[in-house]
Amino acid sequence: MIKLNVLIVLLLSVFQLLAVNKEKPVAPPSPVFPIPTERQLAWHEMEQYAFIHFTTNTFTGKEWGYGDESPEVFNPSEMDVNQWVKTVKEAGLKAIVLTCKHHDGFCLWPSKFTEHSVKNSKWKNGQGNVVKEVAEACHKNGIKFGVYLSPWDRNRADYGTPSYLDYYRNQLRELFTTYGPVFEMWFDGANGGDGFYGGSREKRKINSSSYYDWPTTLDIVRKIEPNIVFFSDAGPDIRWCGNERGYVGETNWATINSDTLFAGKSGINKVLNSGEESGNKWIPAEVDVSIRPGWFYHAEEDSKVKTPEKLFEIYLSSVGRGSNLILNIPPDRRGLLHENDVKALQGWKKLINDAFSTNLALNSAVKSDSYRGKSKLYAAANVTDGKKDTYWATNDDVTTGNLEISLGAKKTVKYISLQEYIKLGQRVKGFSVFVWKNNNWTEAATGTTIGYKRILKIEPVETDKIKIAILAAKASPLISNIEVY
189 vs 264, which CB is nearer to ligand FUL? 189
Q: If binding is defined by CB under 6 A, does position 332 make contact with ligand FUL? A: no
**31 burial via Cβ count (<10 Å: 0-12, 13-18, 19+):** exposed
In contact, 392 and 382? CB cutoff 8 Å: yes
* 286 is a site residue for ligand FUL (CB under 6 A): no
Cβ at position 296, least distance to ligand FUL in Å: 8
Of 160 and 451, nearer to ligand FUL (C-beta) is: 160
Alpha carbons 268 and 261: distance in angstroms, whole number: 8
Chain-centroid distance of CA 84 in Å reads: 20
**Given 69, 104, 184, 188, the residue binding ligand FUL (CB under 6 A):** 188
**CA separation for the pair 114, 120 (Å, rounded):** 10
In 225-336, alpha helices (H) = 258-262, 268-274, 308-318
- CA-to-CA separations, 284 to 44, 204, 438, 453, in angstroms, rounded: 9, 32, 40, 12
Stretch that binds ligand FUL, among 188-196, 254-262, 269-277, 453-461 (CB under 6 A): 188-196
Counting contacts by CB under 6 A, is residue 293 touching ligand FUL? no
CB of 100 vs ligand FUL, minimal distance in Å: 12
Which range in 170-178, 183-191, 422-430, 432-440 contacts ligand FUL by CB under 6 A?
Answer: 183-191
Q: What is the rounded distance in angstroms from the CA atom of residue 127 to the CA atom of residue 108?
A: 11
Judged by CB under 6 A, the residue of 104, 174, 184, 288 near ligand FUL is 288
In the 8-state DSSP scheme, what is residue 321? G
Residue span binding ligand FUL (CB under 6 A) among the ranges 21-29, 79-87, 185-193, 379-387: 185-193
Selected from 282, 295, 315, 415, the binder of ligand FUL by CB under 6 A is: 295
CB of 329 to ligand FUL, least distance (A): 13
Q: Is 190 in the site for ligand FUL (CB under 6 A)?
A: yes
Binding of residue 189 to ligand FUL (CB under 6 A): yes
Q: Which stretch binds ligand FUL (CB under 6 A): 123-131, 187-195, 213-221, 400-408?
A: 187-195
CB-nearer residue toward ligand FUL: 288 or 341:
288
- In the 8-state DSSP scheme, what is residue 286? E
Residue 366 near residue 380, CB atoms below 8 Å: yes
Radius of gyration of the chain (CA): 26
State the minimum distance, in angstroms, from the CB of residue 181 to ligand FUL.
Answer: 22
Query: With contact defined as beta carbons under 8 Å apart, do 116 and 70 qualify?
Result: no
* 189 residue type, one letter: G
Which residues share a beta bridge with 146? 97, 184
Residue whose C-beta lies closest to ligand FUL: 190
Contact 229, 40 (CB under 8 A): yes
Which x/- pattern over 48-67 shows residues binding ligand FUL (rule: CB under 6 A)?
---------------x----
Which residues pair with residue 290 across a beta bridge? 328
Q: Residue numbers of the site for ligand FUL (CB under 6 A)?
A: 63, 188-190, 288, 295
